Structure 1
Amino acid sequence: MATDVKVPVLGESITEATIGEWLKQPGDPVKADEPIASLETDKVAVEVPSPVAGVMGAHAAKPGDTVEVGAVIAVIEEGGAAASAPAAAAKPAPAAAPAQIVAPAPAPAPAADDESGPPPLSPAVRRLVLEHGLDPSSIKGSGKDGRLTKDDVMAAVKSGAAQPAAAPATTPAPATAALPATGGRREERVRMTRLRQTIARRLKEAQDTAAMLTTFNDVDMTAVMEARAKYKDLFEKKHGVRLGFMGFFVKAACQALKDVPSVNASIDGDEIVYRDYVDVSVAVSAPNGLVVPVIRDAQDLSVAGIERTIGDFGKRAKDGTLKMDEMKGGTFTISNGGVFGSLMSTPIINPPQSAVLGLHRIEERPVVRDGQIVARPMMYLALSYDHRLIDGREAVTFLVALKNAIEDPTRLLIDL
């Protein structure tokens, strides 16, 4: 008996997806609810679980194909090869029966090896592994079920922990089929993922629609760094999450947005929509690229609540378990390029939002304090905004309010 595997409901207004990769191949044993395929939607990657236990049957679509919600993409043979062996043995065997019985016997062995072996690699991770010539089995995966992520591979490259891939022990190919060992010029064409296509389209729409401008400021991180160093152990012990910088910036941004409401507003036709709440979109890294989940009603959360929410988003982004609804409806975005080493950037707004705050790396720079040149841990801030709605005066006022709150965190407690 075969059971159809269908594309699940993907969220409101999402009617189709793209096959990202097959996690199980025909003949592989599968367990009930075990992921067998990865689908890419406009915003997230979604895993398709097996509805029953059995053996993977034929694929009805290949990676890169677009499939609609409810479409059959594969079948699961219940019992599969395991059930067919006794049946074959029960039938009267002709003279060649021993050979017929022995022939399929090795088939389950590779399947068992596949199940207990390393999890499959995503296309992006596979490219990185090949580019750097690494053995993926020597890298510890942090993703779901121990899968490798792009961050795992890059961390292994930087630390030198990964082993080089072993040379394949195969018969040498004919000389005419061999690629040049050195000096070759090769190109690779890889189809853009649905997520990357959506990102490209929306960013271009933002440039075409909004009158974008970026205003810069810098902030002395001394006070926040001292507070973090002093309280991080107690904070983690009490709240179960590490104290980072984003909690301070989200809290300070909420306070500054209250003082400059146009930065939290949006344009709808010929009307301006002002809000008395702040839903902060926070860019976090996922295996397939950056995703932007939303912290709802951030203005009502404590620093601990903000850090817990961000920590949960980061973990589930790596596992690929973020939900569609968690990435909709933000009113203001904070993007921290500093974690990748960025010194300065001009971030692009995420329509229909009207502004995005870019954070960057912290580095010691000479500044003047009380007539003396001293070294201070400084960070550049960048606010990109829609000039149709936000004037330069309002953008600068917002950045100054944010700067004051970060340089003197007491202001966050007494609402200054």
Structure 2
Amino acid sequence: MYEVAVPRLNGNDDTCRLIEWTVPHGGKVDEKDPIAVVETSKAASEIYGDGDGILHHAVPVGAECRVGQIIGYVFADEQELQEFLAAWPEEAVAPVAGTAGPGPDRADYTLTGPARRLSEEAGLTDEQLRSLGKRIIREADLEPLIRAAVPDRGTALPPRQRAIARQVSRTHQTVPDAFVAVKVACDALLDRLRVLNAEHQQTMGLPEAVIKLLAGLKPAFPAFFSHLSDGEHLSAPGTGVDIGVTVDVGTGLFVPVVKDAQALTVNEVADLLMEFRIKALRDSFHEDDLSGGQLSVSLNTDPGVLVAVPIILAPQVAMVSLAAVQTELVLEEGTVVERRHFTAGLAYDHRAVNGREAVDFLTALKTAVETPQEAGL
């Protein structure tokens, strides 16, 4: 059994309203699907479970809920549910039913955040939105309205691709970005990873190691882990090191965040990246998985990729790119030997970082990769 609690959805609201149970009382929970929808002052957000099971509602639709409040329980099977009910007073776990209406001062529909943005971009009217007949309107629900408005404009981009397009467009419009890249020898790092993989019986590669090594650079280069929200003031978004990493397994591009990377071992980072890939396959990321990044890493490690120029995820000020490992022949003391290397790139916001600092940052990363044990790996 696990508890379903209200997460903190933004920095402004300590409470929210439960506006929909998307899984009925006693219904089956699938971890990749939302359990409930809550509404804050900003938008509606979906709440997901941490695993499959049977859902027990603990609060009714329409209830005001505080952050951290338990609103339901998910049980592994019917036996566990009955044991739980038998052990608690009836009034503490009594099923709740029914649906609270919108009330006299509330709209009869609610837009999720992405749906609200798309609705505003498309110029949809209140009458059109009401015509959908939905209490909760999600981005995908707006497709019929948009197609009807402009029926001959072709196939619409999927919602997630439109979100990526908006991010890229904002970056190009607002961020004066620059780019620099360095060649990084990686024989020592790959040899070290082979030893660690044998010790832990695990598969750890270049992305996991670079994320861990990047975390160690924050004390010397704090600006690269900062946010530039208004174009003039840098702010530190956290005391730890939270590093975003691109994940694309064919279901769309996600940038989940490795939280407190400085406190993790490289094998723990590997476990987390595997978890991210599984969530990407199931399309089951939670909002918290994708928020809070200070610096991000763009993985472009398919064979043959020489260099990649990433997009800065504002308000972050930098994004590192990793290209594929290449092999070259070099002459050492009269002998031809093979050496491996990759290209590390850095896109940076020129308002916050200058070229000399960018080169120093990449040089520090290069040194850490080429001397992994001295860097603490």
Tell me the TM-score normalized by structure 2. 0.60
State which of 247, 251, 262 in structure 2 corresponds to 1:299: 262
Letter in 1 for 2:248: S
Deviations 1:304-355 (A, max 9, x none): 2211111111112111221111101100001111136422111111111000
Give the SS at the match of 1:289: coil
Letter in 1 for 2:211: V
Post-superposition shift, 1:207?
1.2
Deviations 1:210-241 (A, max 9, x none): 111110101111012212223313212xxxx4
For the pair 1:223 / 2:223, whether they are aligned, the reply is: no
For the pair 1:412 / 2:375, whether they are aligned, the reply is: yes
Query: What is the rounded CA distance, in whole Å, between the counterparts of 1:370 and 1:261 in structure 2?
Result: 41
Counterpart for residue 309 of structure 1: 272
Rate the CA distance shift 1:337–1:71 in 2: closer, same or farther, 3 A.
same
CA contact (8 A) 1:252 1:405 kept: yes
State which of 232, 245, 259 in structure 1 corresponds to 2:220: 259
CA contact (8 A) 2:303 2:325 kept: no
Letter in 1 for 2:374: R
Rate the CA distance shift 1:368–1:258 in 2: closer, same or farther, 3 A.
farther
For the pair 1:33 / 2:28, whether they are aligned, the reply is: yes
Deviations 1:82-127 (A, max 9, x none): xxxxxxxxxxxxxxxxxxxxxxxxxxxxxxxxxxxxxxxxxxxxxx
Counterpart for residue 157 of structure 2: 192
State which of 231, 250, 259 in structure 1 corresponds to 2:211: 250
Counterpart for residue 386 of structure 1: 349
Query: What is the rounded CA distance, in whole Å, between the counterparts of 1:33 and 1:286 in structure 2?
Result: 27
Letter in 2 for 1:33: K
CA contact (8 A) 1:46 1:320 kept: no
Counterpart for residue 400 of structure 1: 363
Give the number of the structure whose alpha-carbon radius of gyration is greater: 1
Rate the CA distance shift 1:403–1:68 in 2: closer, same or farther, 3 A.
same
Give the SS at the match of 1:257: coil
CA contact (8 A) 2:187 2:340 kept: yes
Letter in 1 for 2:215: C
Rate the CA distance shift 1:201–1:10 in 2: closer, same or farther, 3 A.
farther
Deviations 1:346-381 (A, max 9, x none): 111111100001001111123465686643111011
Letter in 1 for 2:345: A
Query: What is the rounded CA distance, in whole Å, between the counterparts of 2:344 and 2:286 in structure 1?
Result: 30
Query: What is the rounded CA distance, in whole Å, between the counterparts of 1:391 and 1:273 in structure 2?
Result: 17
Post-superposition shift, 1:255?
1.7
Rate the CA distance shift 1:340–1:11 in 2: closer, same or farther, 3 A.
farther
Q: In percent, how many aligned pairs have the same letter?
A: 25
Rate the CA distance shift 1:341–1:292 in 2: closer, same or farther, 3 A.
farther
Rate the CA distance shift 1:382–1:392 in 2: closer, same or farther, 3 A.
same
Query: What is the rounded CA distance, in whole Å, between the counterparts of 2:213 and 2:290 in structure 1?
Result: 22
Matches within 5 A, 1:16-415: 32-33=27-28, 68=111, 71-72=134-135, 189-236=154-201, 241-269=202-230, 270-274=232-236, 276-339=239-302, 341-367=304-330, 369=332, 374-413=337-376
Extract unaligned runs of 5+ from structure 1. 1-8, 16-30, 53-65, 75-186
CA contact (8 A) 2:212 2:262 kept: yes
Query: What is the rounded CA distance, in whole Å, between the counterparts of 2:371 and 2:255 in structure 1?
Result: 28
Query: What is the rounded CA distance, in whole Å, between the counterparts of 2:136 and 2:303 in structure 1?
Result: 38
CA contact (8 A) 1:263 1:355 kept: yes
CA contact (8 A) 2:242 2:257 kept: yes
Point out the more displaced range, 342-351 or 373-382: 373-382
Aligned pairs, number: 260
Rate the CA distance shift 1:347–1:372 in 2: closer, same or farther, 3 A.
farther
Deviations 1:174-194 (A, max 9, x none): xxxxxxxxxxxxx99421111
Query: What is the rounded CA distance, in whole Å, between the counterparts of 2:158 and 2:199 in structure 1?
Result: 43
Counterpart for residue 140 of structure 2: none
Give the SS at the match of 1:339: coil
Post-superposition shift, 1:257?
2.8
CA contact (8 A) 2:228 2:314 kept: no
CA contact (8 A) 2:184 2:344 kept: yes
Query: What is the rounded CA distance, in whole Å, between the counterparts of 1:199 and 1:409 in structure 2?
Result: 34
CA contact (8 A) 1:344 1:382 kept: yes
Letter in 2 for 1:310: L
Letter in 2 for 1:248: A
Query: What is the rounded CA distance, in whole Å, between the counterparts of 1:366 and 1:196 in structure 2?
Result: 41
Query: What is the rounded CA distance, in whole Å, between the counterparts of 1:406 and 1:259 in structure 2?
Result: 16
Rate the CA distance shift 1:342–1:388 in 2: closer, same or farther, 3 A.
same
Query: What is the rounded CA distance, in whole Å, between the counterparts of 2:336 and 2:175 in structure 1?
Result: 41
Extract unaligned runs of 5+ from structure 2. 1-5, 11-15, 17-25, 35-42, 57-108, 113-132, 138-151
